[in-house]
Amino acid sequence: MIIDFRMVPPIREYIDPGEAIRRLPTSYMRSYLGTYEGAAMLVEITVDDLIRGMEQGGVDKAVLQAEWAYGDYRKQNDAVYRIVQAHPDKFVASYLCVNPLEDDDMAKVVDEEVKERGFKGVNIQPFSYRLRCNDKRFYPLYAKCQELGIPITIHSSINFSVDRTIDYGRPIYLDEVACDFPDLTIVANHGGWPWVTEMIAVAWKHRNVYIEIGAVSPKYIGRPGTGWEPLMVYGNSLLQDQVLFATDDMLPAKRCVEELKALSLKDAVKEKWLGLNAARILGLQ
């Protein structure tokens, strides 16, 4: 089974496309337009497009994650809920997002969404709030996720927003969170690049930390000189149970699956990366 651990809802599902087009060029996400072709497409694509891409790539299931960028985070959670309810055969879990810049009690929001609407996890992007993941404002949220036994996914890599530092996404900050919440399942989105060695160290130290490779072309992970070499070494051995496949909607599923299968990894490891590890986290095994 192939599981895409991170897909995000089409923008049109929670904001008017015209409004999105107007706001995107001036938002902090504007730099993504010149980095990922898929970033611009997110304004236009539909849920049917997402499902068609999954089928073309041979992806069996996906985790749909709300991701606050701009607008009302509640509407994004509503969109994820609607989509997962409408397509339970494709989207096996819904993850909600929060916005610590508002006055809402994040832990309370999570508690209600999990118990009332069946959300299975939480997604945060610390750089979008200009916070680091070890900021104590997140700690009640982490405590609630640990209490409920649900994963939290955290942007842990470069960001392309030109008005804030990439330091917000350094994996080293996950170490403190994992130390303080040893029973919390933490998924580091985007693999920790350019701090891959640091990411490997954190995951090696903490068995509850997983490395997700969404929005990364697998062919570059396997190419010497790109900085991904530690993941190819340790992800093929000591950390083979802690790597998760994802597209993040930024790259075609078909391309990503084909490129991952072509990596110089053990066949059994490829199966773990592509779905077996995710199935364990999601309780599908």
pLDDT tens-digit series, residues 5-42 = 999 999 889 888 777 767 766 666 666 555 555 555 56
pLDDT at 34: 58
Query: 115, exposed or middle or buried, with CB in 10 Å at 0-12, 13-18, 19+?
Result: exposed
- Asked whether the predicted pLDDT for residue 232 surpasses 60, the reply is yes
pLDDT digits (tens, 9 = 90+) for 158-208: 999 889 999 999 999 999 999 999 999 999 999 999 999 999 999 999 999
CB 150 within 8 A of CB 186: no
Q: What are 273's two structure tokens?
A: 């990366």
- Asked whether the predicted pLDDT for residue 246 surpasses 80, the reply is yes
Q: Comparing 160 with 239, which gets the higher pLDDT?
A: 239
- Asked whether the predicted pLDDT for residue 220 surpasses 60, the reply is yes
The rounded mean pLDDT for the chain is 93
- Asked whether the predicted pLDDT for residue 56 surpasses 80, the reply is yes
pLDDT at 164: 93
pTM: 0.94
- What is the average per-residue pLDDT within 231-250? 97
- What is the average per-residue pLDDT within 57-78? 93
Domain 3-281: give its CATH code: 3.20.20.140
pLDDT digits (tens, 9 = 90+) for 250-262: 899 999 999 999 9
Q: What are 184's two structure tokens?
A: 């919390």
**Contacts of 31 by beta carbon, 8 Å cutoff, 6+ apart:** 160, 161, 162
Q: Compute CA distances 269 → 3, 104, 200, 201, 214, whole Å.
A: 14, 42, 16, 19, 17
pLDDT digits (tens, 9 = 90+) for 94-150: 999 999 999 999 999 999 999 999 999 999 999 999 999 999 999 999 999 999 999
